[in-house]
Amino acid sequence: MTTSPSGLAALANGAVLSPFTQLRKLLGDSPAGHANVIDLTIGEPREPIPPFVTEKLLEVQTAYANYPPIRGTGELRTAISNWAAKRFGANAAPDPEREILPINGSREGLFLAALPAVGRKANVSRPAVLMCNPYYSAYVGGALATNAEPVYLNATAATGHLPDLEALAQNKPLLERTAALYLCSPANPQGAVADAQYIKRALDLARTYDFILFFDECYSEIYDTTPPTGALEVAAQTPERFSNLVVFNSLSKRSNLPGLRSGFCAGDASFIETFGEIRNMVAPQMPGPTQHASAAVWSDEVHVEANRAAYRQKYDVCDRVLRGRYGYQRPAGGFFLWLDVNNFGGASEATVTLWQRAGVKVLPGAFLAQAGCDGTNPGADYLRLALVRDPATVGEALERLVVVLA
């Protein structure tokens, strides 16, 4: 009798693959069914970058000759703190000296943060790392790399596309061995936004059972009408402040700078201190010019509002083409569509059909999730589409989709 590999073995032997690798295997060598291929798979923003970034990089180009500080420059940490104060309120601004740690994009931070989180549970025989399901690959990577048990909390239409925290609260044995809980708001891929009450409940569970709540807010600045509530602003209203909370954000989506690899984590000062020491041993520093440019980007909101306006135009296109179809809802936040294609044979079949007949490349939702506690994969019936192309191209892709899946 054989058992499925777990932990590092699962990462090493390919038992867990990225969604894009799975997609390549699914489509194989099948040709596109249209001369003009439209790829909506990768969440890579294509809106204009802030016009001053290149200038800022050049201002301190001599800094490439020096090792940059692993904990970031005071300039950058202060800019992040000031941004948080404007966005979430002065009380929610993390201390730039103790509660902020710059990272090379949120993915690196979300993955490596599992090390100290699981390390805090050294007295537990099999720590668990909980995560929203669908999830971002860095979450499960962090769980497996630490030999923790990844536990997938299904986020479905029935639960508002966020994990059911009340159901989780009933599972005391699981919570007692939990090292971390990863949540994402606005959610990737569903676009659901957690309200203050939901965030407070997650934070209460983290403090009751002494695990770390990792709150992924990478899409927090892309929204339709209402700015999503931040975990820092909720935590700042509690006596414990940021205890048991670490939030992650980056310039990739907010500022269309995925290639800059610039992000930060902020929150629990004790955890940030430990995490900073771990990064000092095993992680790369953010280059000095990148830190200087990032400080300027966090200090500017003009390009961010222009970015939101551009995505609202794409939401309008989606409203026109998709209203009343595939369970479509205008996203409250983020730039993904989460379309129900259960009536068309499920996501994998619909993905292949769209590629072969229309030249539109999308991701099956099942590739972004695993079977949850109830044995079902919450993405099996869904397609994820990234709204990263211009409105006209998005509209053409959606119109082809409607024709093929009519």
Which tens digits make up the pLDDT trace of 335-393?
999 999 999 988 999 999 999 999 999 999 999 999 988 899 999 999 999 999 999 99
pLDDT band per the 50, 70, 90 thresholds, residue 406: confident
| Pairing mode, strands 245-250 and 212-216 | parallel
Alpha carbon 152 to chain centroid distance?
15
Q: Looking at this protein, which amino acid is placed at residue 358?
A: A
Structure tokens at 344: 């068309």
d(CA 168, CA 159): 12
C-alpha–C-alpha distance, residues 304 and 228, integer Å:
15
The CB density around residue 324, as the number of other CB atoms within 10 Å, is 6
Q: pLDDT tens for residues 47-98?
A: 999 999 999 999 999 999 999 999 999 999 999 999 999 999 999 999 999 9
Over range 3-8, report the average pLDDT: 69
Q: Model pTM?
A: 0.96
* 3-state class (DSSP) for residue 198: helix
Cα distance from N-terminal residue to C-terminal residue, the chain: 46
Average pLDDT, whole number, for the chain?
96
Domains of the chain: 7-47+303-404 (3.90.1150.10), 68-300 (3.40.640.10)
Task: Find the mean pLDDT for residues 137-150.
Answer: 95
- Provide the pLDDT confidence category of residue 1 given band limits of 50, 70 and 90: very low
Question: Does residue 322 register a pLDDT over 70?
Answer: yes
Cα separation, 183 vs 101, whole angstroms: 19
Q: What digits encode the pLDDT tens for the residues 200-240?
A: 999 999 999 999 999 999 999 999 999 999 999 999 999 99
Q: Where are the alpha helices (DSSP H) in 49-182?
A: 53-59, 74-88, 105-112, 114-119, 137-145, 165-169, 172-176
Distance CA 102, CA 70 (A): 8
Instruction: Check whether 304 has a pLDDT greater than 70.
Output: yes
Q: What pLDDT score does 6 carry?
A: 75
Residue with tokens 């030999």: 147
